[in-house]
Amino acid sequence: MNRLLINKLIMALSTFAALVGLGFLFWILITLGIKGVESINWHLFTTDLVNKGLRNVIVGQFMLAGIATLIGVPLGMLAGIYIREYGLNSKFSIFIRNLSDVMMSAPSIVIGVFIYGLFVAPFGGFNGWAGSVALAIMMIPIVVSTTDSMLSLVPRELREAGIALGASKAQVIFDIVLKAAKIGLITGILLAFARVVGETAPLLFTSANNDYFTLNMNEQFPSLTVSIYQLATFPDKVSQNLAWAGSVVLTVMVLMINLTTRFIFRKRKQK
């Protein structure tokens, strides 16, 4: 009897906690929708921040995250492949796995300060490359963990079959193992991209911001997240409305990436 009572109590508390979390989520989304959607117009996507638009910062945000992906994904996948396929349970692979887990929970502002000391202060100014490197460092542990987990799900028999046919270990990994785990790997990469595309703290110390459209990564680089932070602190209503509009755009971007990830993962489970 006591066991059933405790079970019902835990169930009730769990349900209450879930409802509270959903309540705050819907509260944020509704507030964002009310204050942000009314500020959305075509002008935002055709003019730059200097003219009260968001074109340059949206392009800049995707460039920073895109270059970070080009840096972080190959490094993360290679590290994950080493851990699962070569290192096995060696001390070095265990060290890399533990380091990756620690880095995944590291505060983003700490990474920003670290990159500031390496790529900003020595070169005398903020630049887009530093911002992308900071985001890449945040992506790497996510990709490492995803690669390690997805490769562990590939049956050992596939590897043995490839070796039996005369393929080298590298051929087995790239032609068989990675192809078998490609859906899970793509899902992890999208999640990592969604994680960094909404980051603000590391960019404050690295790429800063730029009110004008530019593709030059050697100078201060525009970013949507930093623009939202700065505009929200301005006293005038126009800037604050622009910050709300930018928040809606950023939320939709991250939401679409996450929905795409869930769709891909669901397709994989159906197969």
Which residues span the domain enclosing 8? Answer: 1-38
pLDDT at 127: 94
Whether 72 and 14 map to the same domain: the answer is no
Whether 26 and 106 map to the same domain: the answer is no
Name the pTM for this structure. 0.87
Which residues have a Cβ under 8 Å from the Cβ of 264 and sit 6 or more positions away? 183, 186, 187, 190
For every one of its 271 residues, what pLDDT tens digit does the chain have, with 9 covering 90 and above? 577 788 888 898 999 999 998 999 888 888 888 888 888 888 888 899 888 889 999 999 999 999 999 999 999 999 999 998 888 778 888 888 888 888 888 889 999 999 999 999 998 889 999 999 999 999 999 999 999 989 988 888 888 888 888 888 888 888 889 888 888 888 888 888 988 988 898 999 999 899 899 999 999 999 999 999 999 888 888 888 899 999 888 888 888 887 877 777 666 555 5
- The total domain count for the chain is 2
pLDDT at 111: 92
Whether 28 and 161 map to the same domain: the answer is no
Whether 31 and 59 map to the same domain: the answer is no
- For the stretch 73-88, what's the b/e string if a residue is b when 16 or more beta carbons lie within 10 angstroms of its beta carbon? beebbebbbbbbbebe
Alpha-carbon gap, residue 231 to 52, rounded angstroms: 10
Total Cβ atoms within 10 A of residue 257: 17
Whether 33 and 48 map to the same domain: the answer is no
Whether 132 and 216 map to the same domain: the answer is yes
Q: Do the Cβ atoms of 262 and 186 come closer than 8 Å?
A: no
Alpha-carbon gap, residue 192 to 136, rounded angstroms: 9
Whether 92 and 185 map to the same domain: the answer is yes
Whether 266 and 228 map to the same domain: the answer is yes
